Amino acid sequence: MEEQQITVELPRFGSCSYTPSEVIEFPWGLPGFATLRHWLPLNLDSHPTFVWLQSLDDPEVALPAVDPWMVFENYDPKLPAYAFTSLEIREAGDFATLCVVVVTPNAAEMTVNLMAPVLINLRTRKARQIMLDGSTYSAREPLPRKSGAEASASSKSA
C-alpha cells in the first residue's frame, strides 16, 4: 500500500515527513488549543522518554508528553464513561495514554498533568484529553527526582 508522504517544515524539529495514517486527530481539540485538530507524535533520539505532540495545523505548537506509567508506576486514573464512548474504546489494548509535561522556568522542575490524560485510540487514531473531574490527581504533579545519574548530571551543569 503506497501512502502519500507529506513533508512539513517544523520550527522546532526541522523538516519532517509523515503519512496521513500517522496523524492523530483530536476531533474536540484540546483545552487551550480548541481549533488544532491534527497532531503528529514525535520522538527525539536525545530524549526518548518524551513524546512530542506536534500540531500540524499550527507548526509553532508542540507539547511535550510522557507515558504516565514510565514515571508514576501506580497511576490509576478512573476514566469516565465519555472517554470510552466518544473514542470508541472497547478494551485496554485499544488505546495509548500520554500526559502533558510542564517544565517550570529554568527547567528547575518538571510536572506532569495526571488530572487530564490524553487517550489515543490506536485503531482510529482519534484522541481526546480526558478530565478526571473529582479525582485527587494534580494537573501539575512534580516528577519524582531521579536519585542516580540524571540528577547529578543536571546539578553539575547548573
DSSP 33: B
Q: Does 31 bind another protein (CB under 8 A)?
A: yes
Q: Please, is 149 exposed, middle or buried when counting C-beta atoms within 10 Å of its C-beta (0-12, 13-18, 19+)? A: exposed
Q: Does 77 bind another protein (CB under 8 A)?
A: no
Taking alpha carbons only, the member of 25, 27, 53 closest to residue 40 is 53
Question: Least distance from C-beta 2 to another protein, angstroms?
Answer: 17
Contact 9, 17 (CB under 8 A): no
Q: Which helix (H) or strand (E) holds 155?
A: helix 149-157
If the CB atoms of residues 90 and 144 are measured against another protein, the closer one turns out to be 90
Q: Does 52 bind another protein (CB under 8 A)?
A: yes
- The residues in 7-26 that bind another protein, with binding defined as CB under 8 A, are 10, 12-14, 16, 18, 22
3-state secondary structure at position 30:
strand
- The residues in 94-133 that bind another protein, with binding defined as CB under 8 A, are 94-98, 100-105, 107, 113, 115-116, 120, 122, 129-131, 133
Please, what sign has the CA dihedral across residues 83, 89, 92, 97? Answer: negative
Q: Which residues bind another protein (CB under 8 A)?
A: 10, 12-14, 16, 18, 22, 30-33, 40-47, 51-52, 54, 61-64, 67, 69, 80-82, 85-86, 92-98, 100-105, 107, 113, 115-116, 120, 122, 129-131, 133, 139-140
